Structure 1
Amino acid sequence: MSTVTEKVTALVQPILQAHGFYLVDLNYVKEGTNWYLRVFIDKPGGIDIEECALVNQELSDQLDVADPDPIPNAYFLEVSSPGAERPIKTETDLKLAVDQYIHVSLYQKINGQKVYEGYLDRFDSHDIYLTYRAKTQTKQVVLPRNKIAAMRLAIEF
């Protein structure tokens, strides 16, 4: 049996493709007594509020007529941008993050650090290659992907 997120993903993908957008993340969560269906979308150059509202309306229409209903509970639908510090979860996210400033959290220390911030130079199926600043020096590090707990875009200060 498909999960709610799988069913909604199947409904939202054609909508996004028709407008040149892509799905960043989708989650269905209970917070307190309420359920939330959150859809995070983007496009090259960024997504704006009108585009989020357009997808919200089109997806809402699709969910209203879907048979069987993919969502068993009453819920709030939220469609939004992933934000400036969006998570990097997929291969597509990684491709878009090359040459961008990112934050990487590790499960265990590498070279004495569990957190790195720097520019993603490149990646392959096993590692990511990062250029970062350590005080006044520019350094490079290779981080095994299986040691990475989370990655996101970051704002450089």
Structure 2
Amino acid sequence: MKQKKTASRVVHTASAKRTQKDTKNIVTSVRACIAPIVSSLGYELWDVEYVKEGTQYYLRITIDAPNGIDITDCERVHRAIDAPLDVLDPIHDAYMLQVSSPGIERELKTPEHLQACEGETVCVHLFAPLAELGGRKQLTGILGTCDDETLQLLEGTQEWRIPKKKIAQVKTVYDYSDMTEDAES
């Protein structure tokens, strides 16, 4: 009985490693397939994710446009990429295809995302507190320039150069007080 449990764990671990590699391959092939389609429709392909939540797999396609995204845009892209994805058949298991906008507070994952959002307010989450940042694990400020190694963040009068390898996540921060002021006037 113990041998079966051990063998099961080994198989599970091995399949988990394969799944991580497969996930990267799936995302890469899906991106290559749909990027020209999304672009031809006048949208930017913001992100492609393939994730498992509970027992369900999801292929999440995130799109953007200069004037924002609404449900009609998502439906249009969904219809346009559905058949090409069926032909490509990158995923052999059942999955849900979701097309959405990156939202007001969007995660910045690529150098292009960071460059596009220079000058905007962002929240930077670190993997662990850094002594040189006052022992904090989270900072909010204005995104400055970024290079291959570091991200510049202006927090009040303080300028930080944060090593990218220490960053877990960068997200834009929306100032909801603008909405409150509009509602009050």
TM bucket, shorter chain: 0.7 to 0.9
Find the aligned partners of 1:83 and 1:142 in 2 and give their Cα distance: 27
- CA–CA distance in structure 1, aligned partners of residues 174 and 46 of structure 2: 19
Q: Specify whether residues 32 and 146 from structure 1 end up closer, same or farther in structure 2 by C-alpha distance, changes over 3 A only.
A: closer
Which whole-Å CA distance do the structure 2 matches of 1:147 and 1:75 have between them?
33
Q: Which has the higher helix share?
A: 2
3-state SS, counterpart of residue 130 of structure 1: strand
Which amino acid is 1:77 matched to?
Answer: L
TM-score (normalizing by structure 2): 0.74
**What is the percentage of aligned positions where both structures have the same residue?**
37
Deviations 1:4-25 (A, max 9, x none): 2222112211111102322222
CA distance in 2, matches of 1:32, 1:149: 23
Q: What is the RMSD computed on CA atoms of the aligned residues? A: 1.9
Q: Structure 2 vs 1, CA of residues 33 and 114 (structure 1 numbering), >3 Å: closer, same or farther?
A: closer
Structure with the greater alpha carbon radius of gyration: 2
Aligned with residue 8 of structure 1, among 26, 30, 41? 30
Structure 1, residues 65-95: CA drift from partner, whole Å, max 9, x if none? x15x222012111000011111111011011
The residue type paired with residue 72 of structure 2 is E
Equivalent position SS for 2:69: coil
Q: What 5-or-longer segments of structure 1 have no aligned partner?
A: none
Residue 77, structure 1, aligned to residue 97, structure 2: yes
- Rate the CA distance shift 1:131–1:63 in 2: closer, same or farther, 3 A: same
Tell me the CA shift for residue 48 of structure 1. Answer: 2.0
State the AA in 2 paired with 1:70.
Answer: P
- Asked if 1:124 is matched to 2:147, the reply is yes
Match of 2:3 in 1: none
The AA in structure 2 aligned to 1:119 is I
RCO greater where, 1 or 2, for CA within 8 Å and sep 6 or more? 1
Unaligned runs of 5+ in 2: 1-21, 178-185
User: Which TM-score applies when normalising by structure 1?
Assistant: 0.86
Q: C-alpha displacement at 1:44, in angstroms?
A: 2.3
Aligned length, in residue pairs: 151
The Cα shift of 1:148 comes to 1.4
Q: Does the 8 A contact of 2:39 with 2:45 survive in 1?
A: no
Encode CA deviations 1:121-144: one digit per residue, 9 max, x unaligned: 2222222221123xxxx3222212
